[in-house]
């Protein structure tokens, strides 16, 4: 039976791939991805911890805005306390609304990842021309403020259209984080050359876990720790990527911040923390791009190897 295929990558069992190391012989690449999002007032999409209200729905808008006014600063402080790097999947609207936030990101030396203009829209709703305009507007804002565009992209709501990888490659992006298809980076095909897919785990993402699946904060902590422990064990067989996805208005709440601290204490204080590369997606891209051909699914030597 013929079923529709995306054509971006071929099937590759993780058990049939070459081994390689992360820098300094480490086996598990761990990164924190903090979503920093801004929303239109009284219109468009938005996360909701309770049932949506009648617009302008100040209850849910205010809850999201708490993440920018309060939550993000507490998360920054925790990252500083543990000396951990992070990447920030940031809407470009943040530059005008809350410029102190990108200023703090710069001061930390962290990485910006393009995340659209606002999470009140999703790019999968646009035709190709509209999506190209969204990507160009987002990238242009980063260039004006940072001097260069981000290397990576994750769409608002992890949404894509049929040609998103093509548009991202043509806009100068090197990697995308929309495809939770693997525990290792995978090269994707585009009409303008390869684009790397960097793993971004939705299983240990605070928003779907606690807002959609209704896990409590302690349950989420237990799941993150179990996920990390198993990934660390499996990484002795082959190198893996473990991401922790957070939102300012979810983890930045006091009761959840306590649990976030417990997660960081466990991971950084682990007896085998020396096997973990605490990193950012851009560094993962740089390392993978320098590996010999035939090492990573979809790279220049992969077809010949198969």
Number of domains in the chain: 1
Q: According to the model, what pLDDT value does residue 301 have?
A: 87
Dist. CA 75–CA 67, nearest whole Å: 10
Q: Flag whether 4 is in a domain.
A: no
CB 195 within 8 A of CB 168: yes
pLDDT in tens, 209-231: 998 889 999 999 999 999 999 99
Q: Flag whether 199 is in a domain.
A: yes
Q: Flag whether 285 is in a domain.
A: yes
46-50, 276-280, 296-300 — which one is most confidently predicted on average?
Answer: 276-280
Dist. CA 176–CA 79, nearest whole Å: 24
Terminal Cα distance for the chain, rounded: 24
pTM, two decimal places = 0.96
Q: Flag whether 266 is in a domain.
A: yes
Q: Flag whether 50 is in a domain.
A: no
Q: Which residues contact 242 (CB under 8 A, 6 or more apart)?
A: 28, 29, 30, 31, 183, 201, 227, 228, 231, 232
Q: Flag whether 97 is in a domain.
A: yes
Confidence label for 50 from pLDDT (cuts 50, 70 and 90): low
CATH code, 158? 3.20.20.370
pLDDT in tens, 168-180: 999 999 999 999 9
Q: Flag whether 301 is in a domain.
A: yes
pLDDT of 305 higher than 60: no
pLDDT of 43 higher than 80: no
What integer best gives the mean pLDDT of the chain?
A: 95
Name the residue range of residue 89's domain. Answer: 18-39+55-305
Q: Flag whether 109 is in a domain.
A: yes
pLDDT in tens, 269-292: 999 999 999 999 999 999 999 999
């Amino acid at each position: 039976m013929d079923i529709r295929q995306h054509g971006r990558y071929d099937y590759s069992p993780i058990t049939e791939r070459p081994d390689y190391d992360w820098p300094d012989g480490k086996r598990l690449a761990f990164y924190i991805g903090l979503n920093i999002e801004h929303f239109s007032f009284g219109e468009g999409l938005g996360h909701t911890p309770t049932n949506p209200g009648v617009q302008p729905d100040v209850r849910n808008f205010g809850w999201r805005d708490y993440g920018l006014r309060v939550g993000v600063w507490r998360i920054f402080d925790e990252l500083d306390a543990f000396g951990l790097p992070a990447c920030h999947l940031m809407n470009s609207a943040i530059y005008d609304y809350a410029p102190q936030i990108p200023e703090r990101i710069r001061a930390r030396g962290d990485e910006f990842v393009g995340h659209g203009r606002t999470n009140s829209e999703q790019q999968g709703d646009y035709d190709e021309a509209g999506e190209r305009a969204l990507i160009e507007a987002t990238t242009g804002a980063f260039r004006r403020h940072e001097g260069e565009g981000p290397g990576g992209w994750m769409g608002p709501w992890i949404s894509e259209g049929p040609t998103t990888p093509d548009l991202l490659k043509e806009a100068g992006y090197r990697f995308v984080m929309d495809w939770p298809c693997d525990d290792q980076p995978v090269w994707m095909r585009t009409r303008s050359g390869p684009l790397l897919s960097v793993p971004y785990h939705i299983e240990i993402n605070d928003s779907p876990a606690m807002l959609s699946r209704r896990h409590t904060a302690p349950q989420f902590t237990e799941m993150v720790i179990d996920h990390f422990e198993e990934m660390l064990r499996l990484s002795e067989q082959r190198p893996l990527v473990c991401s922790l996805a957070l939102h300012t208005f979810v983890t930045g709440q006091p009761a959840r911040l306590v649990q976030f601290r417990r997660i960081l204490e466990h991971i950084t204080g682990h007896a085998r923390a020396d096997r973990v590369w605490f990193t950012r997606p851009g560094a993962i891209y740089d390392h993978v791009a320098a590996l010999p051909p035939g090492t990573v699914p979809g790279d220049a030597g992969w077809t010949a190897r198969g």
